[in-house]
Structure 1
Amino acid sequence: MSRRLWVHPENSSRLLRAGQTRRCRYCGNYVDWHYKADGSPVPLVPQEFPARQIPDGKRWHLSRGTVYPGDGGSRFCRIAHTAVCPAADESDTHPRLLPVRRHLAVHSRKLVETGTWARPAEAPTVSATRIADHTTSGPDREVALMLGVHYLAPGRIATLRCVALTPDKRRCPGTLLAATTPADAGRWRTVPVPYSGGLGAQFAGEPMDAYDLSALTYAQQLRWRWQHCMAHDRSVAPDIELTEWIAFNATDHAEYIRKELG
C-alpha cells in the first residue's frame, strides 16, 4: 500500500520523511537525520528519552523539523546517535548514556547474526565525525569552499547529483553543474587548509585544492549548499535525499587534501 508524503509548510527542511531514516553504516542501527539551523545534518536516535536522565550538553529537541541543542523546555528530548554509537570509542561515551550504547551494541550483534546487516571492514572504532558522515566514502571525494565553509563532497564535484524529488518519485538525475553558466559555477584554486583541532592542526595553512564558489552570490551558493540543480533551484519540489556535503575536517579527512593545482 502506497503512502502520500509531503513537506509541512512550516518545516524549514524540504526533506521528505522517507529520506530521513537510514541505518548507521558503522553499527547498523536506524538513525533519524535532521538539519540544524545552519543546514548541517545531525543523526538522532529515533526514540525520545526523559530529559532528566540525559546529561546537559547531550540533549536535542525538534522544532518544525529543525533540530536544536537542549530539551526546549520539554520533559523529553532526543540524543545524537554519535554520542551512543557502539562503533565509537566507549571512553567517549558519557557514563549516563552507557545503557543506551550497550542496548544498541546488542542490537548490532543481532543484525549481524541474522544476516540483516554486515559490519564494514574498517577499524574497530571510528570517530564521531566519521559516524556523522552519512555519505559513501571514496578516494575521489573533492572539497568545495562556499558560504565561508570548506565542505567535502561525496565524490567528484562534476558528478554531484541533485537531491530533489522528480514527478515520477525518483531522485533527480541532474547534476549541480548541468546547464550552468560561468556565472553560476565556481573555479578550482589553491586555498589554505582550515584549522581543526587534534591531528589535523598540523595541516592548517598548507595549500590544498578546492572548488571555490565564494565569488558567487549568496543565493547561488545556497543552491550549491542545498544540492539542487538549475532546474530545481527555485522549485517547490521536496528533497528525497539528504544533502551530501559534510564539513571538511583535516583530522578525519586528511586523505582528501590534494595539491595538484600548485
Structure 2
Amino acid sequence: MRPTPMPGCHWDGSPHTRLLRMAPTSPSRLLRAGHSTRCRHCGHRIDLYQRTDRGPIALHRAELAIAHVPEACRWHLSGGLAHPHGDGSTWCRIPHAVLCPARTPTCPLSPFLEDARRDLAVRTRRLIDIGALTPAPAPAGTAAPENPDHTGRPVVQVLLVRYLAPAPLEAIRCVAQTRHHHRCTRTVLVQGRPVGRWRLLPTGSGCGQPALPDTLMAVYDLSHLPHTEQRRWRAQRCPTHAATLGTADLAPAAWQVFDPLLHAAHIHTRLPHPEASPRREG
C-alpha cells in the first residue's frame, strides 16, 4: 500500500503553487508558507507548517484517507496554517512523527499506517546503505525518561488550558522586541514573582481531550496565580514587557496545546525532585 500523492503536485511531490500568508502579529510583516525539508532522522521529505496554536509541525507529504488515520492524528491545511482536525473531506494530512521509522509512534497505527511506516523504514535503510544519509541521534523525548527531574519540556496548565512548553521552565524566553530591535534576553520565570506548583493530574482532563485510563501526569499548574500573571505566561513575556503597552513581539509565543496522544513522549508520571522545581525567591 502506498499513500496517495497530494493533488496539484509534481511527480516528486513538490507543489505547483505555494500558499502564502502574512502573520498578523509579526512586526516584520513578512509572508510565510509551508516549506519542504528532510527529516534529520529518516531522510524523507516533510512539509513544515505553522499550527493554529503558533507552533510549527512537520507533516507527511502525502494525503491519506481518513479511514486509515486515527482521529487524533488528522490534520488539514487552510489559509497557510495546519489545523489539528479534519476538514470534512475524506482525506487528511498526518504528522511525520507518526510515520517516521526513527521515532516511537505517538498514536495507535492501523494496518495501512504500519505498512506505510515499514515502507519508509526500507527507504531509510537504502539511503544509509548508499551513504546518502547519516542519521542524526535519536530525537530527544522519544520515550518518557525515568529521571523525574523533568529537564525537558514540561506540561504547563495556564488559563485552564494545558500547553507543552517550548523549553524547560527556567529557559522559556521573553518574545518581546527591545528598543534596539532585538529579542528580549529575559525569561518568563523570574525571581520575586509568584510561581506555579507541580501536581499529579489525570492525563488529558481539563483540556478537552479524553483522559487516558489509570494515568496521572506531572503538570506545572499556574491556575492559582492571578489572572494577569497567567496572561503574562501565556503571552510569553517577562514582567517588564508585560507591563509595557505597544511593544511588538519579535517571535511568536511557542506554546503548543497539549495533546496526550501526540505528546505522549513528554508525559511524566512522577513529580520532580524538590530541588528541580522553580522556587519563589525573595
Q: Secondary structure at the match of 1:101?
A: helix
Q: CA RMSD in A?
A: 5.2
Q: Please, which of 92, 97, 103 is the counterpart of residue 77 of structure 1?
A: 92
Does the 8 Å CA contact 2:33/2:49 hold for their aligned counterparts?
no
The alpha-carbon deviation at position 195 of structure 1 amounts to: 0.9
Match of 1:62 in 2: 77
Match of 1:215 in 2: 225
Match of 2:108 in 1: 92
Instruction: Say whether 1:147 aligns with 2:159.
Output: yes
Q: Please, which of 151, 171, 174 is the counterpart of residue 159 of structure 1?
A: 171
Does the 8 Å CA contact 1:161/1:227 hold for their aligned counterparts?
yes
The alpha-carbon deviation at position 69 of structure 1 amounts to: 0.9
Does the 8 Å CA contact 1:16/1:239 hold for their aligned counterparts?
no
Q: Please, which of 49, 68, 72 is the counterpart of residue 63 of structure 2?
A: 49
What is the TM-score normalised by the length of structure 2?
A: 0.55
Match of 1:225 in 2: 234
Distance 2:39 2:112 in 1: 22
The structure whose Rg is larger is 2
Does the 8 Å CA contact 2:98/2:105 hold for their aligned counterparts?
no
Match of 1:187 in 2: 195
Matched residues, percent identical? 26
- Structure 2: which 5+ residue stretches go unaligned? 1-19, 204-210
Does the 8 Å CA contact 1:146/1:212 hold for their aligned counterparts?
yes
Give deviations 1:12-48, integer Å, cap 9, x for gaps.
9x99748987765654544524324xx3757342524
The alpha-carbon deviation at position 258 of structure 1 amounts to: 1.5
Does the 8 Å CA contact 1:143/1:152 hold for their aligned counterparts?
yes
Q: Please, which of 117, 137, 150 is the counterpart of residue 120 of structure 1?
A: 137
- Structure 1: which 5+ residue stretches go unaligned? 1-5, 131-136
Does the 8 Å CA contact 1:145/1:151 hold for their aligned counterparts?
yes
Give deviations 1:153-197, integer Å, cap 9, x for gaps.
455433321356789997x2523338x796xx43244x4311126
Q: Please, which of 14, 22, 27 is the counterpart of residue 8 of structure 1?
A: 22
The alpha-carbon deviation at position 144 of structure 1 amounts to: 3.9
What is the TM-score normalised by the length of structure 1?
A: 0.58
The alpha-carbon deviation at position 245 of structure 1 amounts to: 5.7
Q: Secondary structure at the match of 2:272?
A: coil
Instruction: Say whether 1:239 aligns with 2:261.
Output: no
Q: Which moved more, 1:76-85 or 1:252-261?
A: 252-261
Instruction: Evaluate the alpha carbon distance shift between residue 148 and residue 92 of structure 1 in structure 2; reply closer, same or farther with a 3 A threshold.
Output: same
Match of 1:134 in 2: none
Does the 8 Å CA contact 1:61/1:72 hold for their aligned counterparts?
no
Q: Secondary structure at the match of 2:77?
A: strand
Distance 2:104 2:200 in 1: 26
Q: Secondary structure at the match of 2:48?
A: strand
Match of 2:185 in 1: 174
Distance 2:231 2:36 in 1: 24
Distance 1:119 1:80 in 2: 19
Instruction: Evaluate the alpha carbon distance shift between residue 142 and residue 187 of structure 1 in structure 2; reply closer, same or farther with a 3 A threshold.
Output: same
| Greater helix proportion | 1
For this pair of structures, how many residues does the alignment match? Answer: 234
The alpha-carbon deviation at position 63 of structure 1 amounts to: 2.3
Task: Read off the aligned partner of 2:222 and give its amino acid letter.
Answer: D
